[in-house]
Amino acid sequence: MHAYRVSIELMRSYPFSALIMAAMMKADTDNAALLATAFPDLWAELNVRYNSPGGAITESEYQALRRMASKQAEKREALAVAEKGD
C-alpha cells in the first residue's frame, strides 16, 4: 500500500521521463535491460547524462540523441512490419 501511495505522489510531481530514468537507475540488471528495450531513447539520454558533468549536455548533444532515437524507432517499425509480413 505504501508503494502505491508514493507512486501517486510521484506521478503528480514528476514527468514520466524522469520517473522512467529513475527506475532505470534503481533497477537490477534484468529489469534495467527490460526498461532499456522498452525506452531506448531514454536509456541513451540517461547514459549520456550520467557520463556528463552534472548531467548537463549541450543542445547539439540533445538533438543528436533525438535524431538517434528517431532512427532507432524507424528501424523498430520496419522490423515490426517485416515480421508481420512473414
Q: How far apart are CA 83 and CA 31, in angstroms?
A: 25
Side chain identity at residue 2, one-letter code: H
Contacts 24+ apart (CB under 8 A), 67-73: 68/41, 68/44, 69/40, 69/41, 69/44, 72/40, 72/41, 73/41
pTM of the model: 0.69
Q: Which of 10-14, 73-77, 80-84 has the highest mean pLDDT?
A: 10-14
25 pLDDT higher than 90: yes
| Model confidence at 28: pLDDT above 90 | yes
Each domain of the chain, given as residue ranges in start order, spans 2-85
Closest CA to 40 of 83, 74, 82: 74
Please state, rounded to an integer, the average pLDDT across all residues of the chain: 88
- Cell readout for 75 is 528501424
